[in-house]
Chains A and B, each alone.
Chain A
Amino acid sequence: MAFRAAVITFPGSNCDRDMATALEAVSGVPAIRVWHGDAELPERLDLIALPGGFSYGDYLRSGAMAATSPIMRAVIAAAERGVPVLGVCNGFQVLTEARLLPGALLRNAGQRFVCKTVALTVEGTASPFMAGYTAGETIRIPVAHHDGNYFADADTLDRLEGEGRVAFRYAEACNGSARDIAGVLSANGRVLGMMPHPERAIEPAAVTALGGEDGRRLFAGFLESLVRA
């Protein structure tokens, strides 16, 4: 059966097309585009992707308004049924605001917008999103954010680490994130939020000025895990 992925667009999303393009490039199937005001998701989804951007102009807090939008009620219900959800950058902020992932993303400690390709250490791999990676390896994926400073209380951080739910860490301090956390997984491993943009790293470095192919491996690994399941 054909791969079915939905990419949600909020007002102010600006990486939604990149996400759809990456999903199609890796899977060969166009992604279904869904508008934030829709109350229902398409049926039989293999993946829901929340893209980067500045949904609702980052009003109140990054991701806070999007988390209350009609489509997010459907996304939360789908996640609770076990449908995999990937949130990148603003999508990660939306996932924390929607309480699908613990913690919050604060203004970068240095106050500056950070836009560069960074080295990440792969950690927790008990997730279909991590199937293309090996624990402990270093990969390179671009970041571009102002509010990427991951915060959670010490007990939550200990729990995330103890349960293998830190997906990626920055190999070097990037934005002040607690314990250099760049991506976290839900308890069942089926929701991943990450600040780096895997959809911007799907082509060889020679083809694009962006960050190489380490992002493609996230999507390719996810697809392989679907085939195996």
Chain B
Amino acid sequence: MQVRVLVRLKPGVLDPQGRAVHHALEGMGFEGVGDVRIGRLIELDLADGTDHDTIKAMCEKLLANTVIESFTIEGAD
């Protein structure tokens, strides 16, 4: 089974990368860019039937640092 984990910086955590990209977009002439936040997409190929709690544990223990990041799991049953 294919599972996608989206890891994002929590609101309020400074994202200097996002800020730099935001600045670059404006410099390229793109208008109306309110904010840019950069996260990470992790694709997992897991054994069928892997339960949600196991995937959640993977996220909490390694894939995301829950001090600064939140995560959502997509594609799990």
Shortest distance from the beta carbon of A155 to any chain B beta carbon, whole Å: 12
A103 touches B67 (CB 8 A): yes
Stretch at the interface among B11-19, B27-35, B44-52: B11-19
17 A-B Cβ contacts within 8 A? A60-B63, A64-B62, A104-B65, A104-B67, A104-B68, A106-B13, A106-B16, A107-B17, A109-B14, A111-B16, A111-B17, A111-B20, A149-B14, A151-B13, A151-B67, A151-B68, A176-B14
Interface flags, A51-66, vs B, CB<8A=1, else 0: 0000000001100100
B residues adjacent to A (C-beta < 8 A)? 13-14, 16-17, 19-20, 62-63, 65, 67-68
Q: Is A214 an interface residue (CB 8 A)?
A: no
Residues of A contacting B67 in the complex (Cβ-Cβ under 8 angstroms)? 96, 102-104, 151-153
Shortest distance from the beta carbon of A49 to any chain B beta carbon, whole Å: 23
Q: Is A180 an interface residue (CB 8 A)?
A: no
Interface members, chain A 116-163 (any B CB < 8 Å) = 149, 151-153
Residues of B contacting A104 in the complex (Cβ-Cβ under 8 angstroms)? 65, 67-68
Interface size class of A (residues with CB under 8 A): 20 to 34
Shortest distance from the beta carbon of A190 to any chain B beta carbon, whole Å: 21
Residues of B contacting A111 in the complex (Cβ-Cβ under 8 angstroms)? 16-17, 19-20
Shortest distance from the beta carbon of B63 to any chain A beta carbon, whole Å: 8
Q: Is A199 an interface residue (CB 8 A)?
A: no
Given contacts A64-B62, A68-B62, A151-B13, contact A106 B68 (CB under 8 A): yes
Residues of B contacting A96 in the complex (Cβ-Cβ under 8 angstroms)? 67
Report the Cα distance A153→B20, complex, angstroms: 24
Q: Is A97 an interface residue (CB 8 A)?
A: yes
Task: Tell me the nearest residue of chain B to A154, going by C-beta.
Answer: B12
Q: Is A110 an interface residue (CB 8 A)?
A: yes
**Which 8 pairs between the two chains have the least Cβ-Cβ distance?**
A104-B67, A104-B68, A111-B16, A107-B16, A111-B20, A104-B65, A109-B16, A61-B65
